[in-house]
């Protein structure tokens, strides 16, 4: 069963990775770089400060920092535990797939997918009733994580598993944040 799943994962990776072309490689290299998302992060910070005020916004940003730390460390624990080679480093694949970018850490599961989904989930549940069309925020993890397949860095299962863990951690942090807000800051609202 596991072998069949991994075979399907590899076939889907080869198909999705093969959709790329050299013409678009620079675009996807820009998309995969976290610093290039700074305008989105600044927009989100602006919206958070505008909706919550400085004190509450700083508390929320602290929760996001903790969320990213937990998600990132969990990802590293899984990567070092499973030690799945990235497609770009797999000798059975890297001679015929599109390798646009190299990375030498392990593949399972995607930290890019997990972190972006965790933050998007946390923010979505906190602001869905306060900001119209806030669900569009989920385009960020979708585009960001697809760049990892496009560049030859992750298999689809790495991405989906990252999304799963990111969603779980983001939702759990939303619950914890709500409890902390209710217990310690209910007068601040």
pLDDT digits (tens, 9 = 90+) for 88-118: 999 999 888 999 999 999 999 999 999 999 9
pLDDT band (50, 70, 90) for residue 131: confident
Predicted pLDDT of residue 132: 87
- The region of weakest confidence among 1-5, 111-115, 171-175 is 1-5
Measured CA to CA, the distance from residue 128 to residue 171 in angstroms comes to 13
What is the DSSP-derived secondary structure letter of residue 65? H
C-alpha pair distances (Å), 64 with each of 47, 80, 90, 114, 120: 15, 24, 34, 13, 10
Q: What is the pLDDT of residues 39-94, one digit of tens each?
A: 999 999 999 999 999 999 999 999 999 999 999 999 999 999 999 999 999 999 98
Rounded Cα gap, residues 189 and 182, in angstroms: 10
Give the residue among 136, 144, 135, 150 at the shortest CA–CA distance from 163: 144
Structural domain including 67 reads 2-188
Backbone angles phi, psi at 70, to 5 degrees: -65, -45
Tell me the CB-side half-sphere exposure of residue 40, using CA atoms within 13 A: 18
2 has pLDDT over 90: no
Place of tokens 């989920």: 138
User: Per residue in 152-166, pLDDT tens?
Assistant: 999 999 999 999 999
At residue 188, does pLDDT exceed 70? no
- Asked if 116 and 144 count as a contact pair (C-beta separation under 8 A), the reply is yes
Contact criterion met (CB below 8 Å) for 166 and 144: no
Asked if residue 23 has pLDDT above 80, the reply is yes
CATH number for the domain harbouring residue 117: 1.20.144
Per DSSP, the three-state class of 96 is coil
Number of domains comprising the chain: 1
- CA 50/CA 17 separation, integer angstroms: 40
For residue 85, what is the enclosing H or E element? none
What confidence score (pLDDT) does residue 171 get? Answer: 98
């Amino acid at each position: 069963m596991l072998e069949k799943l991994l075979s399907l994962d590899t076939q889907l990776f080869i198909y999705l990775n093969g959709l790329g072309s050299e013409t678009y490689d620079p675009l996807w290299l820009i998309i995969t770089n976290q610093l290039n998302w700074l305008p989105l992060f600044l927009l989100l910070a602006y919206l958070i400060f505008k909706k919550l005020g400085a004190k509450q916004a700083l508390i929320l940003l602290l929760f996001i920092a903790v969320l990213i730390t937990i998600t990132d460390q969990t990802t590293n624990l899984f990567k070092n535990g499973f030690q799945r080679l990235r497609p770009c480093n797999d000798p059975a694949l890297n001679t015929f797939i599109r390798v646009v970018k190299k990375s030498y850490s392990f593949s399972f599961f995607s930290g890019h997918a997990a972190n972006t989904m965790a933050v998007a989930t946390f923010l979505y549940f906190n602001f869905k009733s306060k900001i119209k069309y806030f669900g569009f925020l989920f385009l960020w993890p979708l585009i960001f994580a697809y760049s990892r397949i496009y560049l030859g860095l992750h298999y689809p299962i790495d991405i989906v598993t990252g999304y799963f863990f990111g969603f779980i951690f983001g939702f759990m942090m939303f619950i914890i944040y709500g409890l902390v807000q209710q217990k310690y800051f209910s007068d601040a609202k």
